[in-house]
Structure 1
């Protein structure tokens, strides 16, 4: 099995290699969700119980059928356990809701041995058929005809995917259940990275009741994780979860979590400063003050009293998605000109006070295969941008563009820099603002020109930044790319068993994609999260998932 699994990323990669030797010792207490041997016990300074108040935006979904953005995923991660989980301390994929797995010689079949005796929050025993049901529920457009899932592509390599999603089969034939504790996944082609895919927080089991009433389950999902729902998701207001005492792993230390939904980060941060929230994002303008007031985390991911501001790097890229199917964006030179016109350094320094890094690739540092500067038009060169624009529009009659974005979370300040940069080369940009959930729906339908977007790794491999964003039938292919050569190259890379050869193929394609400038990377993310001094221990991993079950409040 080991020969099929690379280990591309440890925590050191996210801190630029600057971690002191002793830091990993500090992090050792973070543990892994569901793993008794790695449990974080109360430290003596922390207190058992209590409710953590955690800020989020209104999610798209907390139901695993469509966990597609980090706000809903944060909730879903507490309610459900997937088969595997990436261990950032060790830089490897590990078992979570399974005890182990095996893979055949050509990486086309994976056999997962499930943990026995695990239960859903309604008391039903979790069996292999529940996993098959959960995965099929994501792929079946009848699950929610008004808004089908946009994340089914994660299972595109599973045998029978095409027939099932096309309505030509009534089950996903590549997933079988020889017995209640064994799940066999047969793939349509070799894909050695599948255990990483299996760590996605949406690829989880669901009980039979999930098929009975979609709306009820959507608002109050029944999972297999360390927390369970306490009532329904109150849209735009709050989501409450409480400890599930029959959880198969270590029980949560907290009594529960109150996810407080606020319309924007500025409002939320004022609530945090007033003592009404325990975990909150920090508006970009407030980062210097927050650093001085609350103290910076020693490793960027673990908050303790007096070290409460988390600024650790993320395997994620902030970018402008482009509707390449319509003019003027169907002209590659126009896309290249716009990309070179944008002052990324100004965004990182002026808006984020040096806590973020200008992007030079859609794939971020820390992912195996990342190459510095491989997207050539990410460089700031307004003279070159003007030259391209003059070539395309010799009469100087440049088009006015429409830039779509949500204003909360500091995005307005970022887009202000983008629009100012474009104006300097003669391109006027009009703002088109809306709520994030509405914008995502518009991106999916192609109802936009160019807009802000971000991609946080679902699982930390190069494929996760390329297949979802560039494959023609992917639900996240907002750029409307339908290129047979790109599709073929992605499938060829996916089917390559040898780690080095597979990464080399992704790198070759990555360079070609960068030349075409199908989208415009702006910067690589870092956390900008602050934790209250009433929290004794809190860990936010590089993918922005917090294992709330290990969080401790300060004792009274």
Structure 2
């Protein structure tokens, strides 16, 4: 069953109730005196795919794509919508939306950004033949089902009215539709992109606050962005460019930050969490953001299917002492999860029925595991593998702790299945090649409860790593999408979470907070609603 996407929040603004604590970060006087020509160096990892908006759904590429492109809206620091190319996005029935874009804006090759630029890009993203990572974002548009089934390369719900106007007809009413339009999947593309999309992704023609420098992507080394002089919008660069340096470990990035060879690090390695505020006095910040960490348990593994599989899923969850790991490895900088979304999202509920399965209870965990073995014995000598990339901050440390807890509390052999890079892990997940459980997590594409549920657990969803499918859950999502208000929809989405607690396609671990630090060379470093630095605001001193 194909599901629609919904964005929590009102159509034009959706401020998140998040706390922000920071040291540093300049005021207007500081900004006025800042060096606007300074090229900022920032940490990143190698993107999984080319720099194409509809094919980017991971952080390495996302940091770059968000700066290279701009669409109808972008998201402000608090998660609210701010207009970019949109003059208006309106509807009388919340089904057919009329979109008017600003005239006179161009891509970096001089081509005008038109309504056709949006419609072509969205059609490309929706076409299953193109296998785009963000294809799922277009399922809400009329004609998606037919195009996917019949091989059509256009959506009947998209119509170009004139150079600066197009309409979007949805499959059903969605009062929040405009809110999703700040996400990168909805960015426009120039005509040259469709001549050779793979080549385009290596050296894209873009329209955002920055453009890619000539030969700017040196794979596994750096990605060099320069300000786009033709950009006019709310994210105008306050610096002379951003150079993303590619690292294979956060520890080496932290060392470079200490030595002055890196300006901005948006995530701290675990061994620095205790000391980073002392190491970078007045040059650090911490903020809760819309993100979580989970453990995927694939539905295609026989040991986790049926009644025995459900018992094992619950046993694994209850065998993990989340608070101990947060305290000992992350120095208290995260919060134990009580459900599948994030506390900073409107509609969050910490007391969803069934959530007791997330409580640490090793005795009950061992009992559940033994009950599962009575139904279907765990294969003799089988090791429970926990697959994870080890280039992410703290991944190796916390997963080592978890497999030790699982081994001790369940009486089994569990081990870290380490892969070198995030890209390698995502490729393994995408090929359904997991031999056991897998590290996972989610950083909100836009501030929405549904964004933490539909893309990850709906049948056939693009980020459904464990290939979970439950018609009852799908139907509950559909009911939430058709709710008469945001508040009513949130209640229904939380009812959908009750089903997830029964099935446990993933095991929620903790909620995320971002910690960042910066060198003496820069100022005005602020983290946004999604935990990423607002790179365009950073200035040199």
Q: Is the TM-score greater than 0.5?
A: yes
- Report the CA distance between 1:28 and its aligned residue: 11
- Report the CA distance between 1:236 and its aligned residue: 0.8
Give the structure 1 partner of residue 72 of structure 2.
Answer: 83
1:47 pairs with 2:35: yes
Give the structure 2 partner of residue 391 of structure 1.
Answer: 371
1:417 pairs with 2:397: no
Secondary structure, counterpart of 1:228 in structure 2: strand
Give the structure 2 partner of residue 300 of structure 1.
Answer: none
What aligned pairs does 1:55-74 form with structure 2 within 5 A after superposition?
55-61=43-49, 62-74=51-63
1:339 pairs with 2:328: no
Please give the alpha-carbon distance, in whole angstroms, between the structure 2 residues aligned to 1:445 and 1:77.
27
> Structure 1 length normalisation: TM-score?
0.88
Give the structure 2 partner of residue 371 of structure 1.
Answer: 349
1:104 pairs with 2:70: no
Give the structure 2 partner of residue 267 of structure 1.
Answer: 252
Q: Which moved more, 1:134-143 or 1:518-527?
A: 134-143
1:382 pairs with 2:365: no
Contact 2:68 2:211 in 1 (8 A): yes
1:249 pairs with 2:233: yes
- Report the CA distance between 1:167 and its aligned residue: 4.4
Contact 2:459 2:469 in 1 (8 A): yes
Please give the alpha-carbon distance, in whole angstroms, between the structure 2 residues aligned to 1:11 and 1:170.
37
What aligned pairs does 1:205-224 form with structure 2 within 5 A after superposition?
205-224=188-207
Contact 2:47 2:423 in 1 (8 A): yes
1:5 pairs with 2:35: no
Contact 2:476 2:495 in 1 (8 A): no
- Report the CA distance between 1:320 and its aligned residue: 0.4
Give the structure 2 partner of residue 348 of structure 1.
Answer: 326
Q: CA RMSD in A?
A: 2.3
- Report the CA distance between 1:525 and its aligned residue: 0.8
> Which among 278, 294, 297 is matched to residue 319 of structure 1?
294
Secondary structure, counterpart of 2:318 in structure 1: helix
1:357 pairs with 2:335: yes
Contact 1:462 1:503 in 2 (8 A): yes
Please give the alpha-carbon distance, in whole angstroms, between the structure 1 residues aligned to 2:157 and 2:359.
45
Please give the alpha-carbon distance, in whole angstroms, between the structure 1 residues aligned to 2:158 and 2:462.
22
Please give the alpha-carbon distance, in whole angstroms, between the structure 2 residues aligned to 1:373 and 1:407.
33
Please give the alpha-carbon distance, in whole angstroms, between the structure 1 residues aligned to 2:378 and 2:177.
50
> Which among 188, 195, 198 is matched to residue 181 of structure 2?
198
What aligned pairs does 1:482-497 form with structure 2 within 5 A after superposition?
482-497=469-484
Please give the alpha-carbon distance, in whole angstroms, between the structure 2 residues aligned to 1:7 and 1:513.
30
1:427 pairs with 2:415: no
- Report the CA distance between 1:247 and its aligned residue: 1.1
Secondary structure, counterpart of 1:430 in structure 2: strand
1:162 pairs with 2:149: no
> Structure 2 length normalisation: TM-score?
0.90
Secondary structure, counterpart of 2:279 in structure 1: helix
Please give the alpha-carbon distance, in whole angstroms, between the structure 2 residues aligned to 1:523 and 1:150.
25
Please give the alpha-carbon distance, in whole angstroms, between the structure 1 residues aligned to 2:232 and 2:166.
18
- Report the CA distance between 1:292 and its aligned residue: 1.1
- Report the CA distance between 1:414 and its aligned residue: 0.8
How many matched pairs? 517
Secondary structure, counterpart of 1:336 in structure 2: helix
> Which among 156, 171, 176 is matched to residue 154 of structure 2?
171
Give the structure 1 partner of residue 428 of structure 2.
Answer: 442
- Report the CA distance between 1:501 and its aligned residue: 1.7
Contact 2:345 2:449 in 1 (8 A): yes
Contact 1:457 1:543 in 2 (8 A): yes
- Report the CA distance between 1:540 and its aligned residue: 2.2
1:94 pairs with 2:94: no
What aligned pairs does 1:538-553 form with structure 2 within 5 A after superposition?
538-553=525-540
Give the structure 2 partner of residue 32 of structure 1.
Answer: none
Secondary structure, counterpart of 1:225 in structure 2: coil
Please give the alpha-carbon distance, in whole angstroms, between the structure 2 residues aligned to 1:191 and 1:346.
42
1:535 pairs with 2:540: no
Contact 1:119 1:248 in 2 (8 A): no
